[in-house]
Each structure stands twice: as structure tokens, then as C-alpha cells.
Amino acid sequence: MSENQETSSALSPAEQIAAISGPFRGSKQTTLSGLIDDGVFGKNPVFVLALSLCPAVAVTNSVQTSLAMGLSVWFVLSFSNLFTSIFRNYINPKVRMPAYILIIATLVTMCELFMSAFFPVLYQALGVYLKLIVVFAIILARAEVFASKNKPIPAFFDGFGMGLGFLIAMLVIGVPREVVGSGSFWGRPIFGEGYQPILMIILAPGGFITIGLFIGLFRSIGAARERARAAARLEGAGDAMEVKRV
Amino acid sequence: MADKNPTTAANERLLAPLLSVASSPHIRTRETIPRIMWTVNATLIPVAVWAVYIFGWRALLQIVVSGLAAVITELVIQKQRGVARTWHDGSAFLTGLLLAFCIPVGLPLWMTALGSVFSVAVAKHAFGGLGQNIFNPAHAGRAFLLASFPVQMTTWTKMASLAPSAVDGVTTATPLGILKEATKLGHDGMSEVIATFGSRQAMLESLFLGNVNGCIGEVSALLIILGGVFLIYKRYIFWQGPVFYLTTVALLGWVFGHKGLFTGDPLFQLLSGGLVLGAFYMLTDMVTSPITRRGQIVFAVGGGLLVFLIRRYAGYPEGVCYSILLMNCATPMIDRIFVAQPPRSDLSQTEGGQA
């Protein structure tokens, strides 16, 4: 794998973003629950890593499509990480990207066939975005950054956590957008006749604004936690040194 | 040094001293943000009064609701963010007032308030507050309302006017709306527009003085121009912005008329819609327009081009709002190219100034 490291100097933009935003460092997070926690909160694909914003804008205008997209990505991401990791020692580094795409495309096709068979309406509603899961930045990024360098079980749970984080993000964006923008939940009107939906929220600008506000929220929560931790550390240090108050 | 790229040259100019600053004592200007903002508000009072006269008390209600919603939103957000509380400096009220000026008088009041909250909360404070916003808040609020409530934002109901003889002529569509619909059907739209007023003379008079349906602040080009000229006299805005904006629209409207080259009606293009209001009060917004006069010329010409393109070829009858919002995006780039330059005497000493 050391050869792999050297040949991969020309990173794609998605990989660079993933590398900057915090690749797996394997220190304290090696526990499986730590991996999942990281995917959902610490490195939430949409709100923290800001990867895969395209589906987060495009299909979150209703709860159903958000849920369907979230579940599909959850499935694909978990198993693409698993299989990438299983095959990691057999893939020639020079053709690793096509190999990853092959694995991901197989899973996406399974997902697609399943949805077109059992949920044809949802399949229609998702349209091209379901096929586009193949090239979602977050899936390629996890395959490149994590799965290709770790054992199958941690890789699976990394994908599981990231996918769960993605699913939660989709619902967090999708629920308010449908409720405000169409006045309905799960396709059923919830406010009665008099409600005048704010159309812009289900249009693209509304998607961007909603995501922007949630990213702001996530960052302010993160900053508050960081401050609290810093304060706790300071207090601990103060106790240890027994600083006298003047 | 001759072949260096323009960006480097611009950066070097940035590093050059912008102003010659002498040692103290300095004379302090009496201009402050509240003073400027409340003056701008005051110049809009005649327009507001005339709008109330034309559209009835409902117009006043719209202005009050919009202004109050903006100020209250600003107060709440500044309290929440823990920043200096400048809600009374007039800038939030101006946003609300201008938003009220570019909506139809019959819009439900809660929509007005919502648009005003959006203007201040999202377009202004999400970007960091006064001086940080990229987009003109009032026009961002209008774009939000237009995208969210397209039906209500384009319904022009005839209002109970306070004028002795109620508004006659146009009642359900604005002149630009009639023009757009007629040209969609393949007609030459101007004859339809003129027919609703009687004659071209009457049409232009109505547009200039304000006997015409439309948004609250569209009523009188004359009063808006007077307010704008006062702002130019006070040096709160550069004359280049409005003049180049209006000229571009008039010129293009005249050259590319509906019946062939040089058949357009430049005066109609100038006086209809929100063009004059946009030219004097939105385009010249201190925060969202370029800093230098030359930058403002580019900004204004670009905006005028967009207004013409939207009015002539796009689906919307009026394009002032979007033209200004789109040009707002370009402001940082324009500011990079047209950097304020030091006086000539300083230039001769620095190599970078020669570029």
C-alpha cells in the first residue's frame, strides 16, 4: 500500500476536500461506535464535510425522496466500503478509481432495480439522481480515504456511520423543506386549506438557503462544544496546579 | 514590467497609499450612518405620501408593516448575536421601506412581513450584518417573495384611491405586463399599452406623475428623481450609477424596438416599472455596489443591459430586481479591477502606478 500512497499524488478535487476535511487518523476513533459517531456528528458528510451537496439540494424537496435517497446512499456507502476494503490488496493502484466505480455501480444498480420493482413512483421521482449515486463525492471519498487503507469491518462501519449521517442530514433538510414549502408531510397536507406554502423553499434557492442555515447551526454547535472542552481543560489544569486566586 | 497581468497590477495599486493622510488635527465629518440612512429615508417620504394618495391607506399599512418587521428582526438578531444594537440607525427601516415600495399594494400583510424578515435575517445578517451583505436586502426580499408567492406578487388589484378621480386606465395589469403579454402573442405591444391610456402623451404623463398601477414605489418617477437628485447633491450617491443605468436601458430599448431597429420607445422604457426607483435607491446602495466611480459605471451599464434583456426576451415583464441582484454578485470582481487610485503626484513615484 505504500506504493499506492506515492502514486496518488494527483488527487481529484473530491479527494483533496476529503483529505483536508479530516481523513481517518485512527487514534481514538478505532472503536466501531466511534466510527459511527464520527460519521453522524463529527464528520457529517453534508453539514461538516460539505460533500454531496448536489443531492442534498436536488432531492430534499419532499420527505419521501429524501428518505429514499438517504437509505440508498446508506446501503451503497456501507457495502462499497466493505467490498473496497475486501478487495483492497488485489486492486492495482493505477486502476483503483475504475475498480471502485465498478463496485459502487454494481451496488447502485442493485438499489435501482429494487426501487423500480417495489417503489416505482419514488423511482420516477428520484430520476437521474439515483443513478448519480455512482459518482457521489462522499462515496468515492470514503473508498479512497478510508476503505482502501483499513480492514473490512472498520471500513463497513465507517460507511455505515457516514451513510447514517447522510440519511439524517437528508431528513433534517427534507422535513422542514416539505413542511414549509408545500405545507405537507409525506405527501399529505398538514395545515389545511388556508395555508399558503412558501414555494421558494422547495425550489433550488430554498435548498441552498436551508443547507446554509443548517451548516451554520452545526458550526455554532461545534464551536460551543469546543469552547466548553477548552474551558474544562483549563479548569482541570488550574486544579492540578492549584492556582491561587488573587 | 510591461507584461505583468492586470491582477498583479491591481494588487500593486492596492498596496500603494490610497489617501494622503496628514497629521492631526483633523476635521471630522458630521456624516454618520444614522444621519445618512435617515436622510435617505426622508427623501422617500414624498414618494410614500403620493403612493398613499394613489393607492389608499393600504399602502401606508404595507409600509408600516414592512418597516416595523425589518426593524424588529434587526433588533432581535442583534440581541441574539450579541453585537452592537444599531437597529435604530435607519438602515433596517430603509430596507423595509424599499421592500414595501417594490411589492403590489394588495399583497397580504403577513407576506410583506415575511419578506421583510427574510431581507434582514437572511440577506443581511446571515452574511454578517450591515456592510457585509452581498445582495441588496430589499431586492433579495422581493426576489424571495416573487419566487415564493408568484400569484400574489403579480396580482395588481385596483385600490380605493384617495384621489378625487380614481385611477383610470390600467387596473389589472401594469404597462410592462401588457407589453410582455402582447409580445408573447406576436403583436407589437406598444400599441396595446398606448391604447389603455388613450394617447402616448397621456401614457408618458401618467407614468411620470404616477397615475399608474404597479408596485407602491413605482407610482411617481418625478418624486423619486427629486429624492435621488437630493442624494447626489448630498454626495451620498454618485451620479454615474443612475445616469448610466437609465441611459443603457433607454438606448437599448430604443435601438432594439419591437418593430425593428430604432423603433423602441425610450421614454416608456425609462418611466415604466421600478426602473427609476432601482436606479436611484437600489443600484446605488453603498454596501452592495462598487466603491469607485468607474466601477459604478461598469456596474450600472451591466445592470442596464440585464434589464433590457429581461424585459425584451425573458419571461418576466420587469427585470430591475434581478438585474441589480445579479450585478451585486459581480461587485467584488469589479472592485478588484477598478481600485481606488492615489492622486497623480503619488503615482509618479511608484512603478506600479504606471501600469
Q: Are B199 and B148 in the same domain?
A: no
| Residue B174 CA from chain centroid, whole number | 19
Q: Over pLDDT 90: what percentage of chain B?
A: 44
Q: What is the ipTM of this complex?
A: 0.75
Nearest residue in chain A measured CA to CA from B142: A200
- pLDDT number for residue B176: 80
Residue A246 has pLDDT above 70, yes or no: no
- Identify the pLDDT of residue A71: 94
User: pLDDT tens digits for A26-81?
Assistant: 334 567 777 777 777 778 888 888 888 888 888 888 899 999 999 999 999 999 99
B326 interface with A at CB cutoff 8 Å = no
Domain membership flag for residue B22: no
Query: Domain check: are B89 and B179 in the same one?
Result: no
Query: Do residue B185 and residue B296 come from a single domain?
Result: yes
Average pLDDT along chain B: 83
Task: Give yes or no for residue B66 having a pLDDT over 90.
Answer: yes
**CA–CA dist A178, A197 (Å, integer):** 9
pLDDT at A9: 43
Q: Give CA–CA dist B47/B80, Å, rounded.
A: 34
pLDDT one-digit tens code per residue, B18-39? 566 677 788 888 888 899 999 9
Q: Residue A164: name the closest of A62, A68, A55, A78 by CA.
A: A78
**Is the same domain home to B194 and B324?**
yes
At A99 the pLDDT is 92
pLDDT of residue A6: 37
Residues of B in contact with A203 (CB under 8 A): 147
C-alpha B9: how far from its chain's center?
A: 32
Domain that holds residue B48: 34-153
pLDDT value for B191 = 75
Q: B151 CB near a chain A CB, below 8 Å? A: no
Q: What's the pLDDT score for residue B13?
A: 54
For residue B6, is pLDDT > 70?
no
Contacts 24+ apart (CB under 8 A), B218-223: B218/B101, B218/B102, B218/B174, B218/B273, B218/B274, B218/B277, B219/B47, B219/B50, B219/B51, B219/B54, B219/B55, B220/B47, B220/B50, B220/B51, B221/B270, B221/B271, B221/B276, B223/B46, B223/B47, B223/B50
Q: By the CB < 8 Å criterion, does B111 face chain A?
A: yes
**At residue A186, does pLDDT exceed 90?**
no
The verdict on B148 and B67 lying in the same domain is yes
SS3 labels along chain A: CHHHHHHCCCCCHHHHHHHHHCCCCCCCCCCHHHHHHHHHHHCCCCCCCCCCHHHHHHCCCCHHHHHHHHHHHHHHHHHHHHHHHHCCCCCCHHHHHHHHHHHHHHHHHHHHHHHHHHCHHHHHHHCHHHHHHHHCHHHHHHHHHCHHHCCHHHHHHHHHHHHHHHHHHHHHHHHHHHHHHHCEECCEECCCCCCCCCHHHHCHHHHHHHHHHHHHHHHHHHHHHHHHHHHHHHHHHHHHHCCCCC
Contacts of B229 (CB under 8 A, 6+ apart): none
B41 with B92, same domain: the answer is yes
pLDDT at B343: 63
Burial of A226 (0-12, 13-18, 19+ CB in 10 A): exposed
Is residue B189 assigned to a domain?
A: yes
Please tell me whether residues B108 and B207 are part of one structural domain: no
Shared domain check, B135 and B208 = no
Q: End-to-end alpha-carbon separation of chain A, Å?
A: 58
Q: Residue A21 above 50 pLDDT?
A: no
Q: Which of B118, B125, B148 to mutate to test the interface with A (most CBs of A within 10 A)?
A: B148
User: What mean pLDDT comes out for the span B7-21?
Assistant: 57
Q: How far apart are CA A145 and CA A153, in angstroms?
A: 15
* Residue in A closest to B150 by C-alpha: A199
- Region A188-194: mean pLDDT is 81
Choose between B319 and B342: higher pLDDT.
Answer: B319
Instruction: Find residue A218's DSSP bridge partners.
Output: none
Backbone torsions φ then ψ of B2, nearest 5 degrees:
-70, -30
With a cut of 70, say whether residue B92 has pLDDT above it.
yes
Tell me the mean pLDDT in the region B74-87.
90
pLDDT for residue B311 is more than 70? yes
Specify if B352 maps to a domain.
no
State whether B237 and B330 are in the same domain. yes
Whole-number pLDDT of residue A240: 56
In this structure, is the dihedral angle defined by the CA atoms of residues A23, A146, A141 and A71, taken in order, positive or negative?
A: negative
Average pLDDT over residues B336-347: 71
Least confident of A145-149, A190-194, B325-329: A190-194
Of A146 and A6, which is predicted with more confidence? A146
Query: pLDDT tens digits, residue range A88-113?
Result: 999 998 999 999 999 999 999 999 99
Q: Is A187 exposed, middle or buried (0-12, 13-18, 19+ CB in 10 A)?
A: exposed
B167 lies in some domain:
no
Cβ atoms B290, B296 nearer than 8 A: yes
Inter-chain contact B149–A203, Cβ cutoff 8 Å?
Answer: no
Percentage of chain A exceeding pLDDT 70: 84
Of the segments B125-129, B154-158, B345-349, which one has the largest average pLDDT value? B125-129
Residue of A nearest to B108 (CA): A196
Provide the pLDDT for residue A163.
92
Tell me the residue length of chain A.
Answer: 246
Residues A200, B147: C-beta atoms closer than 8 Å: yes
Asked whether the beta carbons of residue A205 and residue B111 sit closer than 8 angstroms, the reply is: no
Are B138 and B188 within one domain? no
pLDDT of residue B157: 67
Q: Is residue B25 part of a domain?
A: no
- CB pairs A-B closer than 8 Å: 20
What is the pLDDT at residue B18?
A: 57
Contact A201 B126 (CB under 8 A): no
* pLDDT tens, residue by residue, B211-241: 667 788 777 888 999 999 999 999 899 999 9
At B7 the pLDDT is 56
* A192 φψ region: left (φ > 0), alpha (ψ -120 to 50), beta (else): left
Instruction: Provide φ and ψ at A199, rounded to 5°.
Output: -55, -35
What's the CA gap between B135 and B292, in Å, rounded?
18
Q: What is d(CA B6, CA B10) in angstroms, rounded to the nearest whole number?
A: 6
pLDDT of A17 reads: 47
Are B226 and B274 in the same domain? yes
- Contact call for residues B284 and B241 (beta carbons, < 8 A): yes
Residue A204: closest C-alpha in chain B:
B147
Is the pLDDT at B41 greater than 50, yes or no?
Answer: yes
Q: What is the pLDDT of residue B248?
A: 95
Higher pLDDT, A13 or A239: A239
Instruction: Provide the number of structural domains found in chain B.
Output: 2
Shared-domain flag, residues B189 and B138: no
Q: How far is A200 from chain B (nearest CA, A)?
A: 4
The pLDDT tens digits of the residues spanning B136-188 come to 999 999 999 999 998 888 877 665 555 554 444 444 567 787 777 777 776 66
pLDDT at B179: 79
Contact A213 B126 (CB under 8 A): yes
Domain extents in chain A: 32-186+197-245
Q: What is the pLDDT of residue B43?
A: 93
- Choosing from B103, B120, B153, the residue where a domain stops is B153
Instruction: Name the pairing type of β-strands B256-257 and A188-189.
Output: unpaired
Average pLDDT of every residue of chain A:
82
* Contact check, Cβ <8 Å, A199/B114: no
